[in-house]
Structure 1
Amino acid sequence: MSTPSRFPYQDESLAVEQRVEDLLSRMTLEDKTGLLFHPIATIGDVEAEGLLGTPSMRSLLDKRINHFNILQAPTTRAITEWHNAVQAEVAKTTLGIPVTISSDPRHSFANNPATSFTAGPFSQWPEPLGFAAIGDEALVQRWADIVRREYVAVGIRVALHPQIDLATEPRWARASATFGQDSDVTSRLGVAYIRGLQGKTVGPQSVSAMAKHFPGGGPQKDGEDPHFEYGREQVYPGGQFELHLAPFKAAIAAGVGQMMPYYGMPVGTEFEEVGFSFNKQIVTGLLREQLGFDGIVCTDWGILSRTFWGVEDLSYEDRMFKAFDAGVDQFGGEYAPEVLAGLVRNGRVSQDRLDTSVRRLLREKFLLGLVDRPTVDVAAAEQLVGTPAAREEGLAAQAAAQTLLINRDGAAHLPLNKQLKVYVEGMDPNSLAGRANVVASVEDADVAILRIVAPWEQRTGELDFFFHAGSLDFTPDQVEHIRAIAAAAPTVVDVYLDRPAILTPLQDLPVSLLVNFGSTDEAFVRVAFGEAEPKGRLPFEIPSSMAAVLASRPDVPSDTADPAYPYGAGLDYDDWTPAAAPTDDERAATTVEQKSGPRFDPETVLLGALLDDPQGAAILNSVAPDLSDNPMMEMVRAMPFSTVIAMAGDADPAQIAQLKAAIAAI
């Protein structure tokens, strides 16, 4: 229902610019400064303390903050009811300016919690790398359109994506959320994604897209990420700044609503060596003046309080002034509008400069229809979000993105024959129901199937735990294990690539080799047994060694010597015709033998696997009864149990040892 018109800004018949000016004229300084902050919000009780030590929603609303980023996605009903409750709270204020809710990517099947959040009730698709592997602009626009419909249904109106950086540094932890290494492909698919979210222009059924990370993350020194001080430097030894900028030019031409600069600071360029959001040459000179972008510029999260690279010696207030003077409109992850108000009162920031940013943010609220219809229909959302049809489309895309690199002759030649005796690791054996009989020992198998993930170095630190960074080499023990399995039975190996793992040790093994970019067991087995065809082509080069990676230039695509697989590599099935999906009778007829001995390795088992297992969940709940209800749980389910436990720095080592022993005994 529309809000009754008391003021001109509430009159839908008036032009947007007129409504913006009327509302602006009625706003206090505190109303205006509150608009320029975009912190994390916690779904639930508005009075409760927020996630990660953030303030309660009540205290944030009292500061007139009304843009919020949600991390959780519990259920459709929980999100929509919370959204409506928050809108009801702000409707009680003098001006009733509605809140705008944003989200990081959450529609992908991901194994790397640093790059996106759990899909929860939403449909699951491959990661953007998977869409780059497929290379179909129409499919990307279709995916983004479904994202749009599901977001709008629950009240999410700003997408903190697409990430249109180029994955040119093989070690970079955030490659999986990109469209790969190719600038032209990224430009095309990025534009398709923006069209799917926004339409031709931003309107009442749109989700505003925030393209990131201007002017192009990816060329990170030593492959480290600028979330951390040791990764703050962004370098261009190959002189490819313009190559990384190109997708952002395409996004601007497509009408992208918002832009997010990255944390990193350019080193060895013509630009000041400070983080991009503090860099006036970048935000005002390049983005605003040269490229003509007049949309919203929102900083990445926490640049004033945590990732203030190049301005470490400045105070919080001076950092805020420098970023605002550089040309940003909004501070992501911060919640100190009183500091900005102080800068206005003492004359360092002019009212005109403040109003310029306020106008941009108000204009978008009007364009999105939030001022006129701030709430959502809970029942309708439950019918629209995560429909069986959308989930099936997501599965089909996951399967299509699978990329075949080696197809050996013999029993492991793909697609596999049905009703073989199969030994599996790294996947749910029940996913083979109707297709194969699962045996407990590789010695009894006709074929072995191993699903593994690209290696990374587990880091310590509050946030470092979440990032898959460092070496791309499998350990000798991992390679030897695969070798032993392949010696016992013809073997299929499927590797999840969030980064271009060194696959060289697998090339000489007698295995058929697939890679994926976020796919469920169901999507994989459809490909493995010929119900779907792998259509993927590598969206980045696969290096042959870490030595080649170390010698390459981080801003240059395909720059490693003698790669194991070049960009675009991938095989087709021979004379493929779709196999029939298993019938209910076939599913009932297949058998699954249980392995003898421990079912879980406490060092490698994923936390989610334990929580989904009755015995595992009982053990965890015995020491942490509230664990499954923890709002952070959906973010860490895809992490190894041992890693999550290690994050609890105050945990008793003896209790951890007992817990691991209990898990090993299951």
Structure 2
Amino acid sequence: MKLLRVWPACLLLLTVVSCSKGPEPKDKALEAKVEKLLSQMTLEEKIGQMNQISSFGNIEDMSVIIKKGEIGSILNEVDPLRVNALQRVAVEESRLGIPLLIARDVIHGFKTIFPIPLGQAASFNPEVAEEGARVAAIEASSVGVRWTFAPMIDIARDPRWGRIAEGCGEDTYLTSVMGAAMVRGFQGDSLSDPTSIAACPKHFVGYGAAEGGRDYNSTFIPERLMRNVYLPPFEAAARAGAATYMTSFNDNDGIPSTGNAFILKEVLRKEWGFDGIVVTDWASATEMISHGFAADPKEAALRSVNAGVDMEMVSYSFVRNLPELIKEGKVKQSTIDDAVRNILRIKFRLGLFDNPYLDEKKPSVLYAESHLAAAKKAAVESAILLKNDNHTLPLTSKVKTVAIVGPLADAPYEQMGTWVFDGEKAHTQTPLHAIREMYGDRVQVIYEPGLAYSRDKNTTNIIKAAAAAARADVVLAFVGEESILSGEAHCLADLNLVGAQSELIAAVAKTGKPVVTVVMAGRPLTIGKEVDLSAAVLYNFHPGTMGGPAIADLLFGAAVPSGKTPVTFPKMVGQIPMYYAHNNTGRPAARTETLIDDIPVEAGQTSLGNTSFYLDAGFDPLFPFGYGLSYTTFEYSNIQLSSATLNKNDVLAVTFDLQNTGTYPATEIVQLYIQDKVGSVTRPVKELKRFTRVALEPGEKKAVTLELPVSELAFYNIDMIKTVEPGDFGLWVAGDSQTGEELVFKVID
């Protein structure tokens, strides 16, 4: 039996607060450069640094305002020749030679597209997140981009919200770990490395709780909930050294984030010591007018800057109104100076003053073999096996003919997912292409898509798909969402498969041949009916450039699924919001429920037990958080706690044996959950506190140790003080959030 010890979290990227490097310490020499340059700047030049524009027109048009020092940053310029030309104007033709900061949305890859962040989170592997961000940084920086607006680390518990695709799901701890890893990947070992780009955790803060799952909508998150659930990932990003932050579009409790001094000054600056750039989201300063929080652009600029915003994205209210606001005494000169200090500091840290230009003769790093290999690995580890009846997968040598159907089988653009400005479908390998290329000598492939695209309602060709299914040994049905159906402003009220995809699956299932449903989507979908019709279900949050080869290897057994759900899958939309870390009610649901079709006629009003569940959906989700199958099985045994009684300074060690009891080498994602039984405020029924990936050969057993400092049981209590409260705790070690035997321990003062 092998011994596997999961050391204190900083060594395996499992803790993100206590062991990460934190905000960069002040460099006295750098600060002296900032102060010297600041002392030479006119008010107009200072305000110019606070102005970010989107690239437009020709070089000559942009040069006019660059020469005047009226621009600090440019968005959406990815032509290296133009970047150098614009930078040359700023450095060599403006009065003070302050370089531009070139920015771009590089969310899950630049050219080599990795799985969407929600997919990366399904890997429960921070190395996947860090490597994906590193590849994105190397590729994007090669064309001049030195700032990206990622990671998105909003906690999202409503899959109707289109932007759930951009984040890491519903869990605070998982999002903290993965978000910090992305920051490290984007920024590398040093911001001054030419291959590093400044990360920008977003959206600060609470955007994932938008009412009704509708983008840009209001939120109402009380401070305690904000501090316990929504702020920790952003603090973890700060500890990881994030260079910039972006304010969110939403108002919370009536205060838009771009004008919220509490979160920007009190929390971000004072509590966390952040000294980088705070930038608005696209026009979010002037959108406070639509919110009804500012009367006009002048008041929007006033509220933004006084709240702690340093740079305005594209809406120009700063450059047009700050001179007058300063003259009127409504904005202090010192406020402007502090904002410009933050901007100059990041530009110095990025090395832009010393190395502003690109080497135009440098060989391309785009689509490097190592990048494609990393993207494939990420896609493999992100795939989630939700069902596998009768060992349908992997496909064995007994399978001679496969029918490939569905609109996502050969949709290179769609499988890249949302927020892919620079990915190219010509470089994307689809499942159809990969199966033919990699396994065409092993099986005969019959391809009849049945539907042209995911929203297609024309059922004419479904009969062809069914005929193909009848001739095959196994049906591979590729369904899901086009990329346009998730991401910003792409919210849904209905999470069923769109178009006639459900009819397609029903038609091929009617042939009696086993159906393997492969989903590619940007969110959890309500696919209970399709799961029932399928022998196996493999779920892939849009897998990116190398999704095809990854899925092919998984289907044919060259790789074994290990992904777990990073967000709860509801049975139906009416259950939303639905997440595992909920509080108990005073009448929690019983495990035996009487559902609507089983209620006797004229049943007594209280005969069902009066507990908290839906008559038509019950209590449980379709699939819980942390769920995912493998081609093998795992057995947890001999779970032991280092002590049943601990004080607040102790470290709890949890040891157990994990055995691969099947026939395939595979990886299990071990998850450790706790419950604080009684608190000064109600606490979640379970909270994820540790996870690790354990690889095992068939029959192999390993002794595993997870270590959890008692200090990480702290929360904001009834007095809004972060503390560990003494009392009883439950603990579970399992492969998902719903299983495992409970152990108990006590924390004493």
- Indicate the TM-score class for this superposition, using the shorter chain for normalisation: 0.7 to 0.9
What is the aligned-residue identity percentage? 29
Decide whether the 8 Å contact of 1:202 with 1:208 is kept in 2. yes
Note the C-alpha offset of 1:239. 4.0
1:315 aligns with 2:296: yes
- The 5 Å alignment of 1:222-621 reads 222-226=212-216, 231-235=217-221, 239=225, 241-267=227-253, 273-306=254-287, 308=289, 310-312=291-293, 314-336=295-317, 337-380=319-362, 382-409=363-390, 412-415=392-395, 417=397, 419-425=400-406, 426-428=408-410, 429-434=432-437, 435=439, 436-439=443-446, 440=448, 441-454=468-481, 467-474=490-497, 477-488=500-511, 489-519=513-543, 520-549=547-576, 552=578, 561-574=619-632, 575-576=663-664
What do the CA deviations read for 1:440-495 (whole angstroms, capped 9, x no partner)? 43332222222222499979xxx98x514322123594323211112223211111
Note the C-alpha offset of 1:328. 0.9
User: Which amino acid is 2:393 matched to?
Assistant: H
Larger Rg computed on CA atoms: 2
Q: What RMSD, in angstroms, separates the aligned Cα atoms of the two structures?
A: 3.0
Note the C-alpha offset of 1:317. 0.5
Paired with 1:69 and 1:445, the residues of 2 have a C-alpha distance of 54
Note the C-alpha offset of 1:324. 0.6
Decide whether the 8 Å contact of 2:176 with 2:236 is kept in 1. yes
> Corresponding residue for 1:584?
none
What do the CA deviations read for 1:88-147 (whole angstroms, capped 9, x no partner)? 222212212111011212434xxxxxxxxxx4xx22211111221111123322222222
> Corresponding residue for 2:87?
87
What do the CA deviations read for 1:493-533 (whole angstroms, capped 9, x no partner)? 11123221112112321331010022232322121122222
Paired with 2:382 and 2:395, the residues of 1 have a C-alpha distance of 16
Decide whether the 8 Å contact of 1:260 with 1:298 is kept in 2. yes
TM-score, length-scaled by structure 2: 0.65
Decide whether the 8 Å contact of 2:112 with 2:375 is kept in 1. yes
Decide whether the 8 Å contact of 1:69 with 1:102 is kept in 2. yes
Note the C-alpha offset of 1:283. 1.5
What do the CA deviations read for 1:385-429 (whole angstroms, capped 9, x no partner)? 32122112111211221110111327x433454642323222133
Sort the Cα spacing of 1:423 and 1:195 in 2 relative to 1 into closer, same or farther, 3 A. closer
Decide whether the 8 Å contact of 1:181 with 1:539 is kept in 2. yes
> Corresponding residue for 2:66?
61
User: Which amino acid is 1:64 matched to?
Assistant: G
User: Which amino acid is 1:334 matched to?
Assistant: S
1:149 aligns with 2:149: no
Decide whether the 8 Å contact of 1:168 with 1:556 is kept in 2. no
> Corresponding residue for 1:193?
182
> Corresponding residue for 2:114?
125
Aligned with residue 210 of structure 1, among 200, 213, 223: 200
User: Which amino acid is 2:98 matched to?
Assistant: I
Q: Single out whichever of 503-512 and 26-35 deviates more from structure 2.
A: 503-512
> Corresponding residue for 1:45?
58
Decide whether the 8 Å contact of 2:107 with 2:149 is kept in 1. no
Secondary structure, aligned partner of 2:146: strand
Secondary structure, aligned partner of 1:451: strand
Sort the Cα spacing of 1:394 and 1:67 in 2 relative to 1 into closer, same or farther, 3 A. farther
Sort the Cα spacing of 1:549 and 1:328 in 2 relative to 1 into closer, same or farther, 3 A. same
Decide whether the 8 Å contact of 2:106 with 2:136 is kept in 1. no
User: Which amino acid is 2:251 matched to?
Assistant: M
Sort the Cα spacing of 1:217 and 1:561 in 2 relative to 1 into closer, same or farther, 3 A. farther
Note the C-alpha offset of 1:547. 1.7
Paired with 2:534 and 2:29, the residues of 1 have a C-alpha distance of 68
> Corresponding residue for 1:22?
36
User: Which amino acid is 2:54 matched to?
Assistant: I
Paired with 2:287 and 2:205, the residues of 1 have a C-alpha distance of 21
Note the C-alpha offset of 1:262. 0.8
Paired with 1:525 and 1:38, the residues of 2 have a C-alpha distance of 44
What do the CA deviations read for 1:23-46 (whole angstroms, capped 9, x no partner)? 11221222111110222224x733
Secondary structure, aligned partner of 1:211: coil
Decide whether the 8 Å contact of 1:277 with 1:326 is kept in 2. yes
Q: Which runs of 5+ in 1 are unaligned?
A: 1-12, 48-55, 74-78, 109-118, 268-272, 579-666
Paired with 1:416 and 1:30, the residues of 2 have a C-alpha distance of 70
Sort the Cα spacing of 1:72 and 1:540 in 2 relative to 1 into closer, same or farther, 3 A. farther
Sort the Cα spacing of 1:430 and 1:143 in 2 relative to 1 into closer, same or farther, 3 A. closer
Note the C-alpha offset of 1:326. 0.7
Note the C-alpha offset of 1:14. 9.3
Paired with 1:135 and 1:360, the residues of 2 have a C-alpha distance of 34
Q: Which runs of 5+ in 2 are unaligned?
A: 1-26, 411-431, 449-467, 585-612, 633-662, 667-749
Sort the Cα spacing of 1:561 and 1:94 in 2 relative to 1 into closer, same or farther, 3 A. same
Paired with 1:360 and 1:237, the residues of 2 have a C-alpha distance of 27
User: Which amino acid is 2:101 matched to?
Assistant: T
Pairs aligned (count): 524
- The structure with the largest helix share of the pair is 1
Note the C-alpha offset of 1:183. 0.7
> Corresponding residue for 1:183?
172
Decide whether the 8 Å contact of 1:280 with 1:327 is kept in 2. yes
Decide whether the 8 Å contact of 2:136 with 2:186 is kept in 1. yes
Paired with 1:313 and 1:209, the residues of 2 have a C-alpha distance of 29
Paired with 1:199 and 1:292, the residues of 2 have a C-alpha distance of 21
Q: Single out whichever of 167-176 and 190-199 deviates more from structure 2.
A: 190-199
Secondary structure, aligned partner of 1:469: coil
Paired with 2:122 and 2:583, the residues of 1 have a C-alpha distance of 16
User: Which amino acid is 1:134 matched to?
Assistant: S
What do the CA deviations read for 1:529-585 (whole angstroms, capped 9, x no partner)? 2222222100001001112126x589959999310000011111133369xxxxxxx
> Corresponding residue for 2:153?
164
Secondary structure, aligned partner of 1:378: coil
User: Which amino acid is 1:207 matched to?
Assistant: I
Sort the Cα spacing of 1:180 and 1:443 in 2 relative to 1 into closer, same or farther, 3 A. same
User: Which amino acid is 1:46 matched to?
Assistant: I
Sort the Cα spacing of 1:70 and 1:160 in 2 relative to 1 into closer, same or farther, 3 A. same
Paired with 2:260 and 2:300, the residues of 1 have a C-alpha distance of 11
Sort the Cα spacing of 1:554 and 1:224 in 2 relative to 1 into closer, same or farther, 3 A. farther
What do the CA deviations read for 1:192-249 (whole angstroms, capped 9, x no partner)? 22122224553344322111112332111111111xxxx2334469945521111112
Decide whether the 8 Å contact of 1:130 with 1:401 is kept in 2. yes
User: Which amino acid is 2:507 matched to?
Assistant: A
Does 1 or 2 have the higher relative contact order (CA < 8 Å, sep 6+)?
Answer: 1
Decide whether the 8 Å contact of 1:211 with 1:256 is kept in 2. yes
Aligned with residue 134 of structure 1, among 111, 123, 145: 123
Paired with 1:69 and 1:569, the residues of 2 have a C-alpha distance of 42
Paired with 2:209 and 2:583, the residues of 1 have a C-alpha distance of 10
What do the CA deviations read for 1:304-324 (whole angstroms, capped 9, x no partner)? 334545435511101110111
- The structure with the largest strand share of the pair is 2
Paired with 1:58 and 1:22, the residues of 2 have a C-alpha distance of 25
Paired with 2:343 and 2:47, the residues of 1 have a C-alpha distance of 11
